[in-house]
């Protein structure tokens, strides 16, 4: 009886990874899926007992879903509807280039929450995420960065991954990377669109409480200002992030309360400054120019505007009460131009 179950799992896994290989035969992602499936098929073949089969089946279910999602993402690229995710892909390419990493991530539409899955390097986002929700992509991409960023002087060493020993640390590093790479737009998006004020102190097994996460993002911006002798980061905390926090929580201070912080922002900033210095967001002219374009001004000089500038300009306008569909349409167009 158990052999029938094992063979059914193996057949289903082969079918899913086989589809990924057929639609994208030359990609490293499809080969990774196949190699991981081969290892898992060996594990299934050695299961022998129902408890071992149950554990292997859970991993097989995850890998099968990942392979099918990847195949769907590749097939959607060739369909006109696939163009709807163009701005998200452009942002991911920009962030990968700034981090010095290959842009081997796929963006797929999902009915579930945003997430990153490792084998196929998939980022799941809501369908047609608007410009104000797109900053969360930087957090999910942060998980890819954590695993892939190498020390430029030490071959295959991955010092950022080595510091992400627990899931809460991993999540906090991804938060700090998103803040480092796209600036105030990420914490603003979290505060205004993602956090339930009644769940500020809710600690999950994998994620620190939101109170700790936002405190660390704000601290990260203040530290960046001190490190680079500029008010563009810390000033945004006082001008935009702290007022948004007070609107959400009624609290003036952004502090971790009584919660332990898995990693201090200072330690994460040192990692990013040492290993990914080109990834750091720099507002410069770009965010002002992007804001003028999104506000509808014509004849604005667009050289020097990056996708990260577009996200921050959109959030400036939103905090000023200007966040209609026309602003989003202009932002999505400008994201593609700026990539």
* pLDDT band at residue 4 under the 50/70/90 scheme: confident
For residue 257, the cross-strand partners are none
Structure confidence by residue, pLDDT tens digits, 198-223 = 999 998 888 999 999 999 999 999 99
Structure confidence by residue, pLDDT tens digits, 6-27 = 989 999 999 999 999 998 888 8
- The pLDDT, as a whole number, for residue 157 is 67
Q: What is the distance, to the nearest Å, from the Cα of residue 335 to the centroid of all Cα atoms in its chain?
A: 17
* pLDDT band at residue 113 under the 50/70/90 scheme: confident
- The pLDDT, as a whole number, for residue 323 is 87
Length of the chain measured in residues? 339
- The pLDDT, as a whole number, for residue 200 is 95
**Two structure tokens written together for 10:** 């193996």
Residues 95, 144: contact at Cβ < 8 Å? no
- The pLDDT, as a whole number, for residue 82 is 60
How buried is residue 86: exposed, middle or buried, by Cβ count under 10 Å (0-12/13-18/19+)? middle
Ordered strands of the 122-125 beta sheet: 106-109, 122-125, 115-117
Q: Please state the pTM of the whole predicted model.
A: 0.87
**Two structure tokens written together for 319:** 């905090």
Note the helical H segments in 100-209. Answer: 135-148, 159-163, 167-182, 185-193
The C-alpha atoms of residue 287 and residue 22 are separated, in whole angstroms, by 43
């Amino acid at each position: 009886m158990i052999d029938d179950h094992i063979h059914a799992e193996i057949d289903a896994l082969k079918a899913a990874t086989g589809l990924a290989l057929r639609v994208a035969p030359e990609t490293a992602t499809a080969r990774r899926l196949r190699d991981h499936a081969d290892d898992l098929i060996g594990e299934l073949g050695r299961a022998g007992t129902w408890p071992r089969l149950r554990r292997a089946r859970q991993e097989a279910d995850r890998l099968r879903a990942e392979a099918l999602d990847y195949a769907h993402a590749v097939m959607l690229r060739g369909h006109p509807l696939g163009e709807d995710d163009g701005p998200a892909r452009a942002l991911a390419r920009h962030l990968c280039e700034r981090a010095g990493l290959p842009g081997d991530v796929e963006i797929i539409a999902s009915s579930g929450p945003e997430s990153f899955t490792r084998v196929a390097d998939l980022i799941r986002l809501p369908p047609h995420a608007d410009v104000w929700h797109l900053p969360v992509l930087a957090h999910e991409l942060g998980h890819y960065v954590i695993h892939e960023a190498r020390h430029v002087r030490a071959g295959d060493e991955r010092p950022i991954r080595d510091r992400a020993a627990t899931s809460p640390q991993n999540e906090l590093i991804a938060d700090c990377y998103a803040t480092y790479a796209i600036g105030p737009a990420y914490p603003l998006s979290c505060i205004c669109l993602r956090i339930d004020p009644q769940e500020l102190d809710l600690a999950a097994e994998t994620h620190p409480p939101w109170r700790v996460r936002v405190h660390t993002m704000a601290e990260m911006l203040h530290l960046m200002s001190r490190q680079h002798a500029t008010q563009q980061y810390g000033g945004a905390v006082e001008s935009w992030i702290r007022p948004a926090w007070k609107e959400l929580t009624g609290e003036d201070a952004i502090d971790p309360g009584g919660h332990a912080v898995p990693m201090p922002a200072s330690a994460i900033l040192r990692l990013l400054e040492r290993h990914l210095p080109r990834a750091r967001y720099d507002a410069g002219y770009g965010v002002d120019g992007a804001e003028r374009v999104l506000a509808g001004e014509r004849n604005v000089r667009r050289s020097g505007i990056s996708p990260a500038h577009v996200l921050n300009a959109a959030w400036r306008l939103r905090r000023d009460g200007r966040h209609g569909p026309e602003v989003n349409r202009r932002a999505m167009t400008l994201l593609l131009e700026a990539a």
